């Protein structure tokens, strides 16, 4: 029996996850699920969820765990393999993913300095990459998201790569 390839990508916003995600997905022949793209699509269409999360995303805030877990776990239902970009961002999200039928087999953390990612983010030009939002996203990452890498390390699933 072939082992599933369920990979989550971790790292600071702008660390290279979104750039490398399609390459990793192609290499593994697994569907790429970008949570940011899923949520931005909801905002663009103006769904109820999009209305609820649009302002949060523009400000650089994390979408509440219960909302993003619902979207992601629903999207992953039935997927044997995946490359997941942008989730989990909190330990609660990691625990929800771990408890689901879509339990990951590997977490890749893209490591890059805050100065490098701040420069990259400011150059992208998305609404959630405005200078104030970038500073907020980096602060939130340190507080909320860095513990996720430790959580995966303690689960013996974490590999670090140069972002």
Q: What is the pTM of this model?
A: 0.84
DSSP 129: G
25-75 pLDDT, tens digit each: 999 999 999 998 999 998 999 998 888 888 888 877 788 999 999 999 999
* CA–CA distance, 88 with 82 (Å, rounded to integer): 14
**Residue 11: which residues within 8 A CB-CB, separation 6 or more?**
17, 109, 110, 111, 112, 163
Is residue 92 within 8 A of residue 72, CB to CB? The reply is no
Residue 2 has pLDDT above 60, yes or no: no
What would the mean pLDDT of 87-91 be, rounded to a whole number? 93
105-163 pLDDT, tens digit each: 999 999 988 888 878 877 777 666 677 777 777 787 788 778 999 999 999 999 999 88
What pLDDT shows up at residue 20?
94
- Give helix 65-76 / helix 91-99 axis angle, nearest 10°: 30
The tokens describing 128, both together, are 């959630």
Which position has the higher pLDDT, 13 or 16?
Answer: 16
What pLDDT shows up at residue 129?
62
Q: Can you name the residues that pair with 9 across neighbouring β-strands?
A: 85, 108
Exposed/middle/buried for 140, CB within 10 Å: 0-12, 13-18, 19+? middle
The alpha-helical segments, DSSP class H, found in 6-145 are 17-28, 35-45, 48-59, 65-76, 91-99, 114-124, 131-140
pLDDT band at 4 (very low <50, low <70, confident <90, very high): confident
Which position has the higher pLDDT, 127 or 92?
Answer: 92
């Amino acid at each position: 029996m072939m082992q599933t390839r369920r990979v989550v990508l971790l790292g600071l916003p702008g660390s290279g996850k979104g750039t490398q995600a399609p390459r990793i997905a192609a290499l593994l022949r697994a569907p790429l699920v970008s949570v940011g793209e899923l949520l931005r699509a909801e905002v663009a269409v103006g769904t109820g969820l999009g209305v609820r999360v649009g302002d949060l995303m523009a400000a650089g805030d994390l979408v509440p765990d219960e909302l993003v877990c619902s979207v992601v776990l629903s999207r992953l239902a039935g997927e044997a393999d995946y490359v997941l970009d942008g989730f989990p961002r909190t330990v609660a999200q990691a625990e929800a993913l771990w408890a689901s039928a879509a339990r990951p087999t590997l977490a890749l953390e893209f490591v890059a300095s805050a100065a490098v990612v701040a420069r990259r983010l400011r150059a992208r030009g998305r609404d959630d990459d405005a200078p104030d939002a970038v500073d907020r996203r980096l602060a939130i990452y340190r507080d909320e998201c860095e513990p996720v890498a430790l959580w995966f390390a303690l689960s013996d699933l974490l590999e670090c790569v140069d972002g």
